[in-house]
Amino acid sequence: MSDLVFTTPDGLVVFPVHLLLRMESYKQSTSQLPESGGVFFGSMRGKHIEITDISLPQPDDSQSRYRFARKSIHHFKQAVTFWEQSSGAVSYIGEWHTHPENIARPSSVDLTEWKKKLPKRPVFLVIIGINNNWYGYWNGCSIIQPVLKV
């Protein structure tokens, strides 16, 4: 399989399919499965974003059927490791989580939290749904919008 490519108002996002498959292994396909999530690591290549790795849910993250919150220091430590090993080229570049709905879309809680906490630079966002995923882009200022595969 080839990488996925998304178009944003500012450039492209390149996303390896094998990372998507890892995230999709956390789909909430039964009522017993909690929301899960993590962060994206990658690089800015001019106006473009290249995703190179992800963090996965950890035992000390907060997970319930309708909520996921990263609590584990593991996500931060992984970011620091990638940053140091790449001499600053690879860093936090977005985040992902699951939703227990067939067609994923951001909730009002997601939108509010993202606008408060995301960095003042572009990032890639993904919500894994049961049948369809939502892919989005934060412009670093005030706009969160869905993006399409090229």
Per-residue pLDDT reduced to its tens digit, 51-76: 999 999 999 999 999 999 999 999 99
- Distance between CA atoms of residues 149 and 96, nearest Å: 17
Domain definitions of the chain by residue range: 4-149
Predicted structure pTM score: 0.95
Percent of the chain beyond pLDDT 70?
99
35 an active-site residue?
Answer: yes
pLDDT at residue number 142 = 84
Tokens of 121: 């630079």
Summarize the confidence of residues 131-144 as an average pLDDT. Answer: 94
What is the spatial distance between Cα 43 and Cα 138, in angstroms, rounded to a whole number? 15
DSSP assigned state of 29: -
- The answer to whether the beta carbons of residues 62 and 69 sit under 8 Å apart is yes
Q: What is the CATH number of domain 4-149?
A: 3.40.140.10
Percentage above 90 pLDDT, the chain: 97
Name the active-site residue from 35, 84, 95, 113.
35
Question: What percentage of the chain's residues is helix, strand, coil (to nearest 5)?
Answer: 20, 35, 40
Q: Which residues contact 46 (CB under 8 A, 6 or more apart)?
A: 11
Output the CA–CA distances (angstroms, integers) from residue 10 to 48, 65, 140, in the order listed: 7, 34, 11
The reported pLDDT for the residue numbered 2 is 82
pLDDT tens, residue by residue, 30-51: 999 999 999 999 999 999 999 9
- Tens digits of per-residue pLDDT, 93-132? 999 999 999 999 999 999 999 999 999 999 999 999 999 9
Mean pLDDT of 3-24: 96
Q: Which pLDDT value is given to residue 54? A: 97
